[in-house]
């Protein structure tokens, strides 16, 4: 429904362009609800992982013997920073600075891609030492949880990438702002999940 939306005199956009229209508001609310569901989805994965931690794995392939702190720390920093750059992009979107928004989104993408590359490297490494999807219940649970997260990252990269390309030459308006905003929520959520992954899977795995 086309409301006459009040535009901010400075930015030329409504104060919250992502939910200025009914469509935008719908998307915004719906996406949050979706994230509520995703919370439970990842909880189920975490639960499974916790239930199967180290189960069926030989000593040398247990969590405390295979995880490496350096790489995980590096990945964490990449993803955390990408969360910040995503915030910066959204701030610039609201301020109607398409150029800077695009810049920060690209940085976000690059950081995300770096994360993904590191994860792939990590998985290949595990594969070589024998910790695989089918090697033990622990392996299955580990790859399912971390892999689901990785798949989310991948999807996020494609999504934000598509949005960027599609809107490269278009101004920010109440039609595409919700799309950007929602994708950024998604990206933050990926980071939220990662916080638990590095804490519970990796760090706790290293001490247990």
SS3 content of the chain, % helix, strand, coil (to 5): 75, 0, 25
Q: Are 82 and 190 in contact (CB under 8 A)?
A: no
Q: Are 174 and 14 in contact (CB under 8 A)?
A: yes
- The whole-angstrom separation of Cα 204 and Cα 208 is 6
User: Which one among 68, 69, 121, 127 touches another protein, defined by CB under 8 A?
Assistant: 69
User: Which one among 5, 71, 87, 110 touches another protein, defined by CB under 8 A?
Assistant: 87
Residues 97 to 156: which contact another protein by CB under 8 A? 133-134, 136-141, 144
Entry field: residues in the chain: 208
Nearer to another protein, 47 or 171 (CB): 47
We find the least distance from the C-beta atom of residue 140 to another protein, in angstroms, to be 4
- H or E element that contains 114: helix 98-129
How many residues touch another protein under the rule CB under 8 A: the total is 77
- The whole-angstrom separation of Cα 95 and Cα 179 is 16
Binding mask 34-63 for another protein (x = CB under 8 A): xxxxxxxxxxxxxxx-xxx--xxx------
- The whole-angstrom separation of Cα 54 and Cα 157 is 31
We find the least distance from the C-beta atom of residue 195 to another protein, in angstroms, to be 5
Residue 91 interacting with another protein (CB under 8 A):
yes
We find the least distance from the C-beta atom of residue 161 to another protein, in angstroms, to be 11
Residues 157 to 186: which contact another protein by CB under 8 A? 159, 162-163, 166, 175, 179, 185
We find the least distance from the C-beta atom of residue 57 to another protein, in angstroms, to be 7
């Amino acid at each position: 429904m086309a409301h006459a939306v009040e535009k901010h005199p400075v930015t030329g956009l409504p104060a919250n362009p992502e939910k200025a229209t009914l469509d935008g508001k719908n998307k915004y609310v719906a996406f949050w609800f979706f994230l509520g569901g995703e919370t439970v989805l990842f909880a189920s994965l975490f639960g499974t992982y916790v239930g199967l931690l180290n189960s069926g794995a030989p000593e040398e392939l247990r969590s405390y013997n295979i995880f490496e702190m350096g790489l995980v720390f590096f990945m964490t920093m990449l993803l955390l920073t990408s969360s910040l750059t995503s915030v910066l992009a959204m701030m610039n979107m609201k301020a109607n600075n398409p150029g800077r928004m695009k810049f920060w989104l690209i940085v976000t993408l690059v950081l995300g891609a770096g994360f993904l590359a590191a994860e792939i490297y990590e998985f290949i490494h595990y594969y070589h030492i024998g910790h695989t999807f089918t090697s033990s219940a622990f392996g299955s649970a580990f790859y399912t949880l971390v892999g689901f997260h990785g798949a989310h990252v991948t999807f996020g990269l494609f999504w934000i990438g598509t949005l960027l390309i599609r809107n490269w030459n278009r101004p920010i308006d109440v039609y595409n702002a919700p799309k950007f905003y929602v994708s950024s929520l998604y990206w933050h959520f990926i980071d939220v999940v990662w916080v638990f992954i590095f804490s519970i899977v990796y760090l706790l795995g290293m001490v247990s």
